[in-house]
Amino acid sequence: MNNQQNIEFINVKKLNLDKSNPRLPANFRKNTPSKSDIVNWMLNDASIIELMLAIGQSGFFIGEALLVVKDKDDEYLVIEGNRRLTSIILLNEPELAELHKKKIEQVLAETIERPNEIPCIIFSSRDEITRYLGYRHVTGVKSWGILAKARYLNELKEDLNGLSFSNQCRELAKSIGSKSDHVRKLIVAYQVYEVIEDNAFFNIKDLDETTIYFNYYADSLSRDNIRNFIDVDIKSDSPTSDLNIDNLRELTQWFFEKNKQNKSRIIGDSKHLSMLDTVLSNAEATEYFQQGSGSILDAYQIVSVTADSFSQEIEMSLSGLKRAQNIIHKVDKHHDTIKTKLKEVSTLARNMEKIVTLSEEDNWDD
């Protein structure tokens, strides 16, 4: 950013919201949204109301100057500061709002400032702002959400088409003050996301750009077996060239398809992703989980059984039997199958006792 750049005050009516803002959903941007469309999409962010209140009470600080480029005629396109511009637009044109109308009415009633001459710094091109924005929004204090970061990096990558993918990641990492591996992971995760988007989010109910958790995929790429399951070669210069779309569909269903209890099979946190990674390292556990008959914990225990986990299963079974014993006297007539089931419990218990005893004897022989 040029330190000699001067701040100019521009009328709000000459300032246009950025239709290519990476924060906006891709499908939304493709449909050439109007000023009203963008304003109402931005209103989904609750902080817009807070910004309106702050600006309406204290005015617009010169230190928060918008970064703009020449647009059409005598107008300017706001590259940095679209949330602030949205707040100012709504202070001056509250009739544009299609939601939060009562909150906006309250803001208007409690404030007197209606800025219309806005401090701006004019740049010759969008590219001139790129490095500054990259640091602020991907790494810096005004960080975007992870999907917006990844989309922005992917757009910046297009300007480096002459370089290999590895060198593109290195150059982008330098420009935003980040690590090359982190940049690579975000861009590859975005490439995976684009396949999901192109496949209409695999027709999973209520799944779209606003409800998907992009970090599930970014975090999954750090795990070898999940990565191998969808055939992503993170170190390659074409990481997603052999992407297995069927397995990606299955992974996405595990993450986001809800059962009758409105729960998905996997939560994309560190614990569940680690269990899934272990499950996918074992053919038997993978087949068991793919059949859909058990939880990720059940599948995980096929691979990773310890004395503690076995003891926990016995404790749970024992607790259930104790509860049954406590209520047995309250049953007037038992089902015909109850004796068979009790014999099965007894047989299982005797067999497990023998296995434990033999295990102890084998250890003694050692």
For residue 214, what is the enclosing H or E element?
helix 214-220
280 class by beta-carbon count within 10 Å (0-12 exposed, 13-18 middle, 19+ buried): buried
What is the rounded radius of gyration, in angstroms, for the C-alpha atoms of the chain? 29
Looking at per-residue pLDDT, the higher value among 153 and 92 belongs to 92
Q: How far is CA 295 from the centre of its chain?
A: 22
pLDDT at 139: 60
Residue 224 clears pLDDT 80, i.e. is over it: yes
> What's residue 352's pLDDT?
87
| Per-residue tokens: 340 | 């068979």
Instruction: Report whether 51 contacts 84 (CB < 8 A).
Output: yes
pLDDT exceeds cutoff 90 at 17: yes
- Both tokens assigned to 283: 């053919």
Confidence category of residue 143, pLDDT binned at 50, 70, 90: low
Residue 366 has pLDDT above 80, yes or no: no
Give the 3-state secondary structure of residue 140. Answer: coil
- Least confident among 95-104, 231-240, 302-311: 302-311
* Long-range contacts from 201-208, C-beta under 8 angstroms, 24+ separation: 201/252, 202/249, 202/252, 202/253, 204/252, 204/253, 204/256, 204/257, 205/257, 205/258, 207/252, 207/256, 208/25
Least confident stretch, 35-44, 132-141, 198-207, 336-345: 132-141
Per-residue pLDDT tens digits for 233-260 = 999 999 999 999 999 999 999 999 998 8
- Quick one: pLDDT band at residue 3, thresholds 50, 70, 90? very low
Average pLDDT of span 335-344: 92
pLDDT score of 178: 81
Q: What mean pLDDT value characterizes the chain? A: 89
User: What domains, with CATH codes, occur in the chain?
Assistant: 7-124 (3.90.1530), 147-303 (no CATH), 307-365 (no CATH)
Q: Tell me, what's the pLDDT at 141?
A: 47
Q: What is the pLDDT of residue 136?
A: 62
- Mean pLDDT value across residues 269-288: 94
Contacts of 162 (CB under 8 A, 6+ apart): none
Phi, psi of 210 (to 5 degrees): -85, -15
Q: Is 65 helix (H, G, I), strand (E, B) or coil?
A: coil
Q: Is the pLDDT of residue 363 over 70?
A: no
Q: What is the mean pLDDT of residues 178-202?
A: 94
- What would the pLDDT profile of 144-182 be if each residue is shown by its tens digit? 788 888 988 888 888 788 899 999 999 888 877 788 999
b/e sequence 180-214, b meaning 16+ C-beta within 10 Å: bebbbbbbbbbbbbebbbeeebbebeebebeebeb
Strands (E) located in the chain = 7-11, 15-16, 66-70, 76-80, 117-123
